[in-house]
């Protein structure tokens, strides 16, 4: 489809200022269903066209750059942009099954983000999803099974996204900075996802796989490269992970649009401006970098991610 780009800053050689949110490279799972909404569609010059679409399943937002002629220009507000992402038709029964599964997952994510797995009953999930109680077992064997799927979506798949974002970066310090900023931005655009991450961030699953394992790896890489001055990688993991979870909580409570207590920071004399970058800079200092270098690395543009043209 072209390039999935970080929607922050100004596009090189263009008068078009891109949106301030962060891009996410999305590779839909076979059983996932996405509600796609066109946010922006414009030509920035005679050859380059920018789409920005929101995919509400798990709060994904991405910006797609294409050459002129790569896709037909849709009338303003038309939903035709979904054809640029999902083109294949499928049998009605299979589509309904995917939609039901997606509703169950979305309902479970909302409920478990608020009350945890132990505090949610299966009938609560089916009622919130507007699905018959018996239909739950057509998709999941138990409450633990749907929870495990959510953990995979939140921890494993997002960790893969971070790996792709940082795939071309050789400096371990910048890898950590990119991952921290993108995680805080993801929580800003999907508060339910952020609350689930806060609740489950130090669970056994989180530490043993996905985000936890990648964070430990990145800290060890930084120590081996003599970029981080940390004697104990596990304590470094706790320091970084705990700060990120606290930053997400602050983002949702004080900084993000719709925050529950947006005036608190002003009353205390603080600002939420550039919050993801400030968080990343502080963590790099905790890991041993000097303040000036940490702030410089944390302010770099988020990397561009090349997306395969699946329609080719």
CB 36 within 8 A of CB 85: yes
> For residue 117, what pLDDT is reported?
87
Residue 221: burial class (beta carbons within 10 Å; 0-12, 13-18, 19+): middle
> For residue 88, what pLDDT is reported?
59
- CA 226 – CA 236 distance, rounded (Å): 14
Q: What is the pTM of this model?
A: 0.66
41 by DSSP, 3-state: which?
strand
Q: What is the largest CA-CA distance in the chain?
A: 58
Tens-digit pLDDT profile for the chain (312 aa)? 444 444 343 333 333 333 333 444 444 444 444 444 444 444 434 444 444 444 444 444 444 444 444 444 444 444 444 444 444 576 877 888 888 999 999 999 999 988 888 899 999 999 999 989 888 998 999 999 999 898 888 778 888 889 988 888 999 999 999 999 999 999 999 899 999 998 888 777 777 777 888 999 999 999 999 999 999 999 999 999 999 999 999 999 888 887 878 788 888 888 888 999 999 999 999 999 999 999 999 999 988 655 433 333
CA angle 266/183/199 to nearest 5° reads 85
> For residue 134, what pLDDT is reported?
87
> For residue 276, what pLDDT is reported?
94
User: Which residue in the block uniquely carries the two structure tokens 């076979």?
Assistant: 30
What structural domains does the chain harbor? 2-84 (no CATH), 92-140 (1.10.10.60), 150-300 (1.10.357.10)
> For residue 289, what pLDDT is reported?
97
Question: How far is residue 46 from each of residues 12, 43, 49, 194, measured CA to CA in Å?
Answer: 15, 7, 8, 39
Question: How far is residue 292 from each of residues 60, 172, 177, measured CA to CA in Å?
Answer: 33, 17, 14
- CA 186 – CA 248 distance, rounded (Å): 9
């Amino acid at each position: 489809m072209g390039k999935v780009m970080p929607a922050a800053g100004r596009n090189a050689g263009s008068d078009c200022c891109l949106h301030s949110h962060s891009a996410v490279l999305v590779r839909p799972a076979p059983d996932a269903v996405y509600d796609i909404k066109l946010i922006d569609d414009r030509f920035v010059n005679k050859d380059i066209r920018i789409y920005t679409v929101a995919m509400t399943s798990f709060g994904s937002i991405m910006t797609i750059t294409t050459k002129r002629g790569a896709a037909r220009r849709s009338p303003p507000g038309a939903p035709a942009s979904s054809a640029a992402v999902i083109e294949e038709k499928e049998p009605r029964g299979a589509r309904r099954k995917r939609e039901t599964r997606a509703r169950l997952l979305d309902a479970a994510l909302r409920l478990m983000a608020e009350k945890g797995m132990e505090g949610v009953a299966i009938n609560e999930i089916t009622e919130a999803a507007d699905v018959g109680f018996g239909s739950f077992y057509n998709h999941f064997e138990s409450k633990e099974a749907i929870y495990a799927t959510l953990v995979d979506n939140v921890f494993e798949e997002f960790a893969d996204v971070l790996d792709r974002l940082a795939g071309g970066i050789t400096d371990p310090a910048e890898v950590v900075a990119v991952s921290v900023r993108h995680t805080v931005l993801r929580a800003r655009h999907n508060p339910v996802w952020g609350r689930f991450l806060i609740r489950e961030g130090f669970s056994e699953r989180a530490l043993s796989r996905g985000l936890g394992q990648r964070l430990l790896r990145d800290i060890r890489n930084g120590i081996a490269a003599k970029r981080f001055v940390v004697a104990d990688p596990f304590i470094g993991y706790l320091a970084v992970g705990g700060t990120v979870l606290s930053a997400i909580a602050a983002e949702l409570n004080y900084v993000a649009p719709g925050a529950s207590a947006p005036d608190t920071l002003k009353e205390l004399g603080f600002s939420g401006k550039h919050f993801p970058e400030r968080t990343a800079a502080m963590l790099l200092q905790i890991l041993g970098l000097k303040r000036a270098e940490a702030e410089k690395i944390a302010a770099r543009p988020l990397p561009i991610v090349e997306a395969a043209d699946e329609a080719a």
